[in-house]
Amino acid sequence: MSTATATSPPNPALRVGLPFGFVMATGAASQLAGLCGEAWALKPLLWLAVAAAVWITGYGAFRHRAQFRAPLSTWTALGPPAQHGGVLTVPLGLAVVSTGLAGQTGGFAAAVATVGLVLAWLAVLVFVPRFVASVSRTRRLSALDGSWFLAPAVLLGVAISNVAFVPHEASTVTQDWLRFSALTAAILGALGYWTVLAAAAVRVARYRLGGARPVLWWIWAGCGGLAATSMSKAIGASGSHWDSTITAILRPAVAVTWTVAAVLIVPILLLGARFMITTCKYQQHALWPPTFSSAVFALGGLAAGKLLASQTMSNIGKYAGYLTLIFWVVTATWNLTRLARARRAGDRNTSGAAVPASQQTIRN
């Protein structure tokens, strides 16, 4: 370890929780609303995700403004992999939002979508190699948790976003580049998913889920759905540009990947429900990775069902989509209610009134 890395504290601006979790979940829910026949909710959810991305970025920059004056060694200090999971939600959230905006009409939506896709790719080129470098320095398999799946998910997300831009590009060269980069990112993301999945299976066999944040394991199944969606979209956009051998390999890969995700989501649902009832007890705010993971699992079922002409996959994806939209409403309502309680508790505390213990817990 270099002296700079050893003496420089990690930069908190790059080691936040899951900043774009809400953006990811809301953007994915918007896409599901359109696919599940609830078109009235598509645009409100999409622009809510855009507004959240702008707000979170602006507020985060203001909150961590002091870190912008930190030395370069502070920014480049790697730290353990767990400190990189949160920032990976940024390019993934941007990719999800850009995908939704690419399907909208109007110059403003197109401009925002383009900016989002460019920023997503730039973030991928910065954050994914940093995460891989951090993992390569980690010798403890027990350090693996569900956040590791965000690294391949980022590649899968930008691949889907690239495909969404293909019909709107007049230049053949640009279309070919979007197709090629989408296929490349989809294959690398799928390989990354299976690599992390294999490591996660060994980790769970040896250590169970000890030491891992339970909510992040939802990404395990969600990333599988995202991989199925990404490969399906890449095949659908390829036309006659790619060798039939690639398509012949990716089609069964889509089926196997989504099937594994469908198998994994069952114990994750059961374990997640047990955690929320017995441990969490609904005393904290509800996190967004379960909603996003359920959404991309549903999108994977719909995409795989269309590609493979499987009505069963399509039906499961559609039902999972409806449940995800309900899950989004429940999660948003819970968090808004908790926020309102915290504000009321803060107002009473400011006025000098006693704050009940239950409200103190919520506020903190």
Of residues 310 and 71, which shows the higher confidence score? 310
Q: Where is 28: in which H helix or E strand? A: helix 21-35
Q: Where is 131: in which H helix or E strand? A: helix 107-136
Residue 349 lies in a domain: no
DSSP per-residue letters across 170-238:
--HHHHHHHHHHHHHHHHHHHHHHHHHHHHHHHHHHHHTTTTS-GGGGHHHHHHHHHHHHHHHHHHHHH
Please state, for a pLDDT cut of 90, what percent of the chain lies above it.
49
Enter the tokens of residue 154: 């980022």
Distance CA 285, CA 346 (A): 17
Instruction: With CA atoms as reference, report the closest residue to 330 among 363, 291, 303.
Output: 291
The pLDDT of residue 117 is 95
Radius of gyration, alpha carbons of the chain: 21
Lookup result for tokens 């918007």: 30
Q: What is the CATH number of the domain that holds 258?
A: 1.50.10.150
Residues 165-209: pLDDT tens digits? 998 887 888 888 998 899 999 999 999 999 999 999 999 888 877
Residue 347 lies in a domain: no
Please state, for a pLDDT cut of 70, what percent of the chain lies above it.
85
Cβ count near 94 (within 10 Å): 31
Residue-wise burial string across 249-281, b where 16 or more C-beta atoms lie within 10 A, e elsewhere: ebbebbbebbebbbebbeebeeebeebeeeeee
Residue 348 lies in a domain: no
Domain range enclosing 85? 3-342+355-363
Instruction: With CA atoms as reference, report the closest residue to 77 among 3, 7, 10, 123.
Output: 10
Residue 296 lies in a domain: yes
Supply the DSSP symbol for 278.
Answer: I
Confidence of residue 119 (pLDDT cuts 50, 70, 90): very high
Segment 47-75 shows an average pLDDT of 85
Centroid of chain to Cα 222:
8
Note whether 274 and 248 are within 8 A (CB). Answer: no
Please state the domain count of the chain. Answer: 1
Enter the tokens of residue 340: 């309102």
Residue 245 lies in a domain: yes
Residues 65-93: pLDDT tens digits? 877 777 777 777 777 887 788 889 999 99
Residues 298-308: pLDDT tens digits? 999 999 999 99
pLDDT surpassing 80 at residue 4 = no
Residue 262 lies in a domain: yes
Lookup result for tokens 């060694």: 73
Largest CA distance in the chain: 73
Confidence of residue 361 (pLDDT cuts 50, 70, 90): very low
pLDDT surpassing 60 at residue 282 = no
Tell me the pLDDT of the chain averaged across its residues.
84
